[in-house]
Amino acid sequence: MKKKFLLILIIGLALSIQTAHAGMVAQWKENAAAKKELKLTEKAIKNSFAQQTLYSNNHEYEKLKDFYSENYRNSDAFDKNTTFQIIKENYELYPDLKMTTKINNININGKYATIDVYEYAQASNLKREDVELTGDLEAFAHTIYYMENFNGKWLITAEQAIEENNSIIFGEAKYLDFKLTAPLIIPAGESYTSKVEINNLPRQALLMGSITQSPAIFPLKEEDDDAFRVLEDIELERIFIANKKNINEYNISSIAITRGQPRPNGGVKLYMSGLAFLMTRVNVIPENTHYERVKEGTDEQHD
């Protein structure tokens, strides 16, 4: 009887191990298939961004539009038509504009995905009619793209600008070391400081500068007027009040280098030897007027 019991126990144990093993194998196969599908999706998204970069660098405007859904919006509330009008104008202004992208992270959730991207752009030999100087453009953006799968094709439905810094520098200003800083994000109606720091002032030259505030609208328009002032220090700063119009904004700094040249018949001829435009983005958190602030000392909050 004892031997029979042991035999039944061994057979039962073997069957339970077999069943558990079969379940583990099935789960492993399912996980492996899911990982494979995830890798294929990541590859498809990376290929999409690589193609976008290629078309962007070739200024193939119409092909680039195919990667965006018709209901696309960005964090400045620009729709697809407005966004591509801006892109088209940039191609016309900067004929040799080139960009590179670096994907930091891809997060996939079913037919939706978020892509964290660094973007860099450059252009050279820029001309200005008012000065006989050539310039270079450099731009950086940290952007989150939101994508959705439409019948097997991943399209961009929205994007959120985290950080943007642009500069266009002409002539002698290329040799200056300067940076425009402002907060990346600020609540509407609050004050903040925007500052230009210059580490190597040019010798025997007059340096002038200004900082202005502009809403992130199209076309871009400066709403305040900051007259150029002579820079005798290594810093230029202004205090702004973030707008309450539910609009993000830009801070734009203009820096000019003026030099004097003696005239043969006496006197001095002044000329501009360098010019720089710096722009940085400030994301504004809009006011929420649909709730009451919690009173101090209470736990009550009302809609």
Q: How confident is the model at residue 259 (pLDDT cuts 50, 70, 90)?
A: confident
Q: What is the residue-averaged pLDDT of the chain?
A: 86
Could you tell me if residue 7 is inside a domain?
no
Q: Taking 90 as the threshold, does the pLDDT of residue 2 lie above it?
A: no
153 and 259, same domain (yes or no)? no
CA distance linking residue 13 with residue 136, whole number of Å: 76
* Direct distance between the N- and C-terminal alpha carbons of the chain, in angstroms, rounded to an integer: 75
Q: How confident is the model at residue 17 (pLDDT cuts 50, 70, 90)?
A: low
Span 247-263, mean pLDDT? Answer: 88
* pLDDT top residue among 79 and 296: 79
Which pLDDT belongs to residue 12? 60
Which pLDDT belongs to residue 25? 54
pLDDT in tens, 107-166: 999 999 999 999 999 999 888 777 788 899 999 999 999 999 999 999 999 999 999 999
3 state SS for the chain: CHHHHHHHHHHHHHHHHHHHHHHHHHHHHHHHHHHHHHHHHHHHHHHHHHHHHHHHHCCCHHHHHCCEEEEEEECCCCEHHHHHHHHHHHHHHCCCCEEEEEEEEEEEECCEEEEEEEEEEEEEEEEECCEEEEEEEEEEEEEEEEEEEECCEEEEEEEEEEEEEEEEEEEHHHHCCEEEECCCEEECCCEEEEEEEECCCCCCCEEEEEEEEEECCCCCCCCCCCCCEECCCCEEEEEEECCCCCCCEEEEEEEEEEEEEECCCCCEEEEEEEEEEEEEEEEEECCCCCCCCCCCCCCCCCC
Span 97-115, mean pLDDT? Answer: 96
Domain span holding position 156:
15-162
143 and 227, same domain (yes or no)? no
**Other C-beta atoms within 10 Å of 182: how many?**
22
Of 29-33, 238-242, 267-271, the one with minimum mean pLDDT is 29-33
Span 13-29, mean pLDDT? Answer: 57
Which pLDDT belongs to residue 41? 92
Q: Taking 80 as the threshold, does the pLDDT of residue 87 lie above it?
A: yes
CA distance linking residue 285 with residue 281, whole number of Å: 13
| Residue that is last in its domain, among 133, 162, 191 | 162
Q: Taking 80 as the threshold, does the pLDDT of residue 194 lie above it?
A: yes
155 and 190, same domain (yes or no)? no
Could you tell me if residue 72 is inside a domain?
yes
Could you tell me if residue 169 is inside a domain?
no
Q: What is the CATH number of the domain that holds 286?
A: 2.60.40.1930
Could you tell me if residue 2 is inside a domain?
no
Phi first, then psi: what are they for 112, rounded to 5°? -115, 150
Query: Per the structure, how many domains does the chain have?
Result: 2
Q: Taking 60 as the threshold, does the pLDDT of residue 79 lie above it?
A: yes
Could you tell me if residue 170 is inside a domain?
no
Could you tell me if residue 167 is inside a domain?
no
**Other C-beta atoms within 10 Å of 75: how many?**
16
Closest CA to 202 of 181, 176, 225: 176
| Residue that is last in its domain, among 97, 132, 162 | 162
Of 77-81, 173-177, 188-192, 238-242, the one with minimum mean pLDDT is 173-177
Q: What is the CATH number of the domain that holds 101?
A: 3.10.450.50
| Residue that is last in its domain, among 162, 185, 212 | 162
Phi first, then psi: what are they for 299, rounded to 5°? -105, 10
pLDDT in tens, 36-67: 888 999 999 999 999 999 999 999 989 999 99
Which pLDDT belongs to residue 45? 96
Percent of the chain with pLDDT over 70: 82
Residue partners of 209: CB distance under 8 A and separation at least 6: 196, 228, 229, 231, 236, 253, 254, 255, 256
